[in-house]
């Protein structure tokens, strides 16, 4: 059978066809789970967000005006849920240190180190800690834009912010992560 | 060109979104400044490293509990929807000399899917019309839980009511009560 587009499934789901809604869930559950896992850093939280996201989508699908794709809409629900969870858990927001963006005395170019380095558990740990050290709003932008590979516009829609805000947060998030990884490659790694 | 300026442009540059003239300026700077060159290169590698991280597999237990929870919500939702739209299933109530005849279209339903409650002046019928699993290209038949309650214009003798479900049509005969017949 020809695979139906998201748009057709959304139409059917609005007409109360549960099977069509379930198909949309099948298409996006792993993506939403990964998004939440990467933003929140815990499986338990990712599971909660997954359930909250699709429950909320189910309850409000007839109000979905389809000005954006279903994927953008579902990402928006999921990221909002993640950010809400943060507010409950970590009411104190950390802000990025602007000194990170000073050029400093950077000299080592570790970019030639092969990506097979990812095999190293320690690097994964450093990458995880680095992403967790970002403020949630920046982390969400980085995950959507660079990991999930959404466009600037899709990310902006998903987060309900402007494209220029996406670009500015992405820029800061990337530089911050680069700085942390540089520390690791320069042998300055310590528990962050 | 100052190195600080490079840092402001670097993200747009790696995304290929920096205007051409700024690109030329930046690339010229990179040939002269090893420090900025290393920043640009390592920034690209940082992004590539994060993109290479494998997907978390969705555990089957989480997948199942999500779908169970949604199905449960849908069943609750179905109940609410069909109670509100009281024109389903379609029915006819006909008064004859000695009885009332109630006809209800129930294609695909079996006796065990139905519950019938009769009172001297009212009848209530409820049931569940199960939906076949699959993706629908045409969907005009109503499914789900339904409930119809009707008031009768005269009293009936419940003990002599007779119901038959044949070829998707439910026929219920309610003899009028003796008082009504006399009246």
Sort out which chain B residues have CB atoms less than 8 A from A81's CB and list them: none
Tokens of A90: 């970590």
Structural domains in chain A, sorted by start: 6-89 (1.10.1740.10), 98-185 (1.10.10.10)
B45 and B104 both lie in a single domain: no
Name the residue in chain A with its Cα closest to that of B81.
A16
Name the residue in chain B with its Cα closest to that of A47.
B62
Query: How many structural domains compose chain B?
Result: 2
**pLDDT grade, residue A168 (50/70/90)?**
very high
Closest chain B C-alpha to A177 CA, distance in angstroms: 7
The reply to whether B63 falls in a domain is no
Closest chain A C-alpha to B18 CA, distance in angstroms: 12
Instruction: Test B43 with A108 for CB contact under 8 angstroms.
Output: no
Instruction: Test B49 with A18 for CB contact under 8 angstroms.
Output: no
Tokens 């540059």 belong to residue: B13
Task: State the Rg of chain B over Cα.
Answer: 35
The domain in which residue B95 lies consists of 75-182
Q: What percent of chain B has pLDDT over 90?
A: 31
Of A113 and A55, which is predicted with more confidence? A55
B15 and B99 both lie in a single domain: no
The reply to whether B62 falls in a domain is no
Instruction: Test B35 with A182 for CB contact under 8 angstroms.
Output: no
Tell me the residues of chain B between 74 and 113 that have a Cβ less than 8 Å away from chain A. 74, 77-78, 81
Q: In what order do the strands lie in the sheet with B144-151?
A: B114-119, B122-129, B144-151
pLDDT above 80 for A119: no
Closest chain B C-alpha to A56 CA, distance in angstroms: 10
Closest chain A C-alpha to B17 CA, distance in angstroms: 11
- Whole-number pLDDT of residue A188: 60
- pLDDT, tens digit, 9 for 90 and up, residues B49-102: 998 887 889 999 999 999 999 988 887 777 665 444 556 788 899 999 889 999
Mean pLDDT of A5-21: 90
The reply to whether B57 falls in a domain is no
The reply to whether B137 falls in a domain is yes
Distance of CA B125 to the CA centre of its chain: 24
B31 and B111 both lie in a single domain: no
B29 and B113 both lie in a single domain: no
B165 and B83 both lie in a single domain: yes
- Whole-number pLDDT of residue A140: 93
CB-neighbour burial class of residue A89 (10 A; exposed 0-12, middle 13-18, buried 19+): exposed
Sort out which chain B residues have CB atoms less than 8 A from A45's CB and list them: none
B95 and B12 both lie in a single domain: no
Q: What percent of chain B has pLDDT over 70?
A: 91
B136 and B88 both lie in a single domain: yes
- Whole-number pLDDT of residue B64: 92
Q: Which residues pair with B169 in a beta bridge?
A: B105, B166
Sort out which chain B residues have CB atoms less than 8 A from A115's CB and list them: 45, 48-49, 52
- Whole-number pLDDT of residue A191: 47
Mean pLDDT of A122-141: 89
* pLDDT by 10s per residue, chain B, length 183: 688 888 889 999 999 999 999 999 999 999 999 888 988 999 999 999 998 887 889 999 999 999 999 988 887 777 665 444 556 788 899 999 889 999 998 888 888 888 888 888 888 888 877 777 777 777 777 777 777 878 888 888 888 888 899 888 999 998 988 766 655
pTM of the model: 0.66
Distance of CA B178 to the CA centre of its chain: 48
Question: Mutate which of B54, B70, B80, B137 to test chain A, going by most A C-beta atoms within 10 A?
Answer: B70
- Whole-number pLDDT of residue B79: 65
Q: What is the 3-state secondary structure (H, E, C) of A42-102?
A: CHHHHHHHHHHHHHHHHHHHHHCCCCCCHHHHHHHHHHHHHHHHHHHHCCCCCCCCHHHHC
Separation of alpha carbons A124 and A131, rounded Å: 11
Instruction: Test A33 with B58 for CB contact under 8 angstroms.
Output: yes
Separation of alpha carbons B79 and A156, rounded Å: 38
- Whole-number pLDDT of residue A125: 85
Which of B52, B71, B144 has its CB closest to that of A118? B52
The complex scores an ipTM of 0.81
B12 and B95 both lie in a single domain: no
B79 and B143 both lie in a single domain: yes
The reply to whether B68 falls in a domain is no
The reply to whether B111 falls in a domain is yes
- Whole-number pLDDT of residue B84: 45
Q: In what order do the strands lie in the sheet with B162-166?
A: B91-95, B99-105, B169-175, B162-166
* CA proximity to A139, closest of A165, A186, A108, A173: A173
B90 and B25 both lie in a single domain: no
The reply to whether B69 falls in a domain is no
B10 lies within 8 A of chain A by CB: yes
B94 and B149 both lie in a single domain: yes
Sort out which chain B residues have CB atoms less than 8 A from A101's CB and list them: 7
- Whole-number pLDDT of residue A2: 61
B165 and B94 both lie in a single domain: yes
B9: Cβ contacts below 8 Å, ≥ 6 apart: B18, B22, B26
Instruction: Test B35 with A1 for CB contact under 8 angstroms.
Output: no
Closest chain A C-alpha to B155 CA, distance in angstroms: 39
Separation of alpha carbons A185 and A111, rounded Å: 10
pLDDT above 60 for A1: no
User: What CATH number is associated with residue B177?
Assistant: 2.60.40.790
The reply to whether B65 falls in a domain is no
């Amino acid at each position: 059978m020809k695979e139906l587009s998201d748009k057709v499934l959304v139409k059917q789901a609005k007409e109360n066809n549960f099977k069509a809604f379930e198909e949309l869930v099948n298409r996006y559950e792993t993506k939403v789970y990964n998004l939440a896992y990467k933003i929140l850093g815990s499986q338990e939280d990712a599971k909660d967000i997954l359930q909250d996201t699709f429950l909320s989508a189910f309850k409000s699908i007839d109000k979905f005006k389809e000005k954006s794709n279903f994927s953008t809409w579902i990402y928006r629900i999921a990221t909002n849920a993640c950010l809400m969870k943060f507010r409950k858990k970590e009411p104190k927001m950390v802000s990025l240190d602007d000194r990170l963006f000073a050029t400093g005395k950077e000299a080592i170019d570790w970019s030639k180190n092969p990506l097979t380095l990812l095999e190293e558990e320690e690097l994964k740990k450093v990458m995880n800690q680095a992403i967790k050290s970002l403020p949630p709003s920046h982390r969400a932008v980085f995950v959507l834009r660079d990991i999930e590979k959404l466009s600037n516009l899709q990310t902006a829609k998903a987060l309900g912010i402007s494209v220029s805000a996406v670009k500015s947060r992405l820029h800061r998030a990337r530089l911050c992560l680069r700085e942390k990884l540089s520390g690791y490659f320069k042998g300055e790694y310590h528990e962050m | 060109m100052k190195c600080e300026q490079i840092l402001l442009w670097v993200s747009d540059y790696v995304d290929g979104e920096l205007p051409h003239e700024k690109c030329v300026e930046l690339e010229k700077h990179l040939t002269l400044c090893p420090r900025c060159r290393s920043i640009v290169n390592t920034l690209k590698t940082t992004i590539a490293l994060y993109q290479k991280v494998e997907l978390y597999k969705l555990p089957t237990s989480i997948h199942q509990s999500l779908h169970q929870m949604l199905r449960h919500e849908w069943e609750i939702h179905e109940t609410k929807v069909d109670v509100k739209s009281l024109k389903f299933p379609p029915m006819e109530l006909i008064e004859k000399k000695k009885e009332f005849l109630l006809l209800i279209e129930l294609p695909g339903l079996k006796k065990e899917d139905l519950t019938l409650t009769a009172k001297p002046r009212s009848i209530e019928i409820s049931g569940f019309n199960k939906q076949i699993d699959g993706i629908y290209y045409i969907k005009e038949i109503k499914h789900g839980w339904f409930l119809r309650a009707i008031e009768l214009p005269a009293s009936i003798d419940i003990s002599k009511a007779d119901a038959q479900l044949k070829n998707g049509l439910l026929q219920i005969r309610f003899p009028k009560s003796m008082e009504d017949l006399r009246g």
